[in-house]
Amino acid sequence: MDKKVSELFISGPTGRIETKYFKNSKKTSPVALVLQPHPQYGGTMNNKIVFEIFQTFLKNEFSVCRINFRGVGRSDGKFDNGQGELSDAAAALDWIERGNIDHSQCWIAGFSFGSLIAMQLLMRRPEINRFIAISPQPNVYDFSFLSHCPASGLMVYGKNDELVPLDNINLLKKRLSSQTGIKVDFQEIEEANHFFSNKEKELSFVLDKYIKKESALY
């Protein structure tokens, strides 16, 4: 792990939130928060896809943090079916913004269950400029709240996702493509499953390309 990445605890609604954080030395560096997959299926902030997203933000000169939701790792509390996890994410976003007052952009990203929480946070926080949702599950979770998506972003999915039928992804794509003033890019990765097994490099390439393009606008 990069020596500049700090391991620390921040205050959350139910106590401590275990956090890994990289602070860029540039005063106006953009900030990003990365969210883990489902806690009840082994998801943690050290998931390989979460780590990949984190590292890509780090390499692109962001100040970035990733957290363990309540009850995961050394975070206090217990699983709360999404509501408490949304509160944890909001607390983490508050924290990284306070520590980077002059940030030029604010991004949110999540993998699988984390992408749902990221999208819910996006709807509540107008300062979020961009989002990245990896392996969203519109067949499991109701994404109708995105009927008025407030920011542009990227959704990445595997063509061979064994948990999400392509029809559900296409319906979500259709809903988001009809919005005015924003652009949601959908990127399909050939032969990738829900967890991007053996396709991490392809995923990293897509993430890096999008982050470079969109962060250069500010």
Among 24-28, 61-65, 145-149, which is the least confidently predicted range? 145-149
- Rounded mean pLDDT, 114-135: 98
Q: How far is CA 139 from CA 50, 94, 163, 171, in A?
A: 22, 30, 9, 10
Q: Tell me, what's the pLDDT at 160?
A: 97
Question: Hey, where are the domains in the chain?
Answer: 6-215
Q: Which tokens go with 203?
A: 């995923």
- Rounded mean pLDDT, 142-150: 91
Among 43-52, 81-90, 114-123, 138-147, which is the least confidently predicted range? 138-147
- Rounded mean pLDDT, 23-46: 97
Give the model confidence (pLDDT) of 173-207 as tens digits: 999 988 889 999 999 999 999 999 999 999 999 99
Q: Tell me, what's the pLDDT at 178?
A: 84
- Rounded mean pLDDT, 95-107: 97
- For the purposes of burial, counting CB atoms within 10 Å of the CB of 208, is it exposed (0-12), middle (13-18) or buried (19 or more)? middle
Contact 35, 93 (CB under 8 A): no
For residue 48, is pLDDT > 90?
yes
Q: Which fold has domain 6-215?
A: Rossmann fold (3.40.50)
- For the purposes of burial, counting CB atoms within 10 Å of the CB of 198, is it exposed (0-12), middle (13-18) or buried (19 or more)? exposed
Q: Tell me, what's the pLDDT at 1?
A: 44
Q: Tell me, what's the pLDDT at 114?
A: 98
Cα–Cα dist 36/44, whole Å: 5
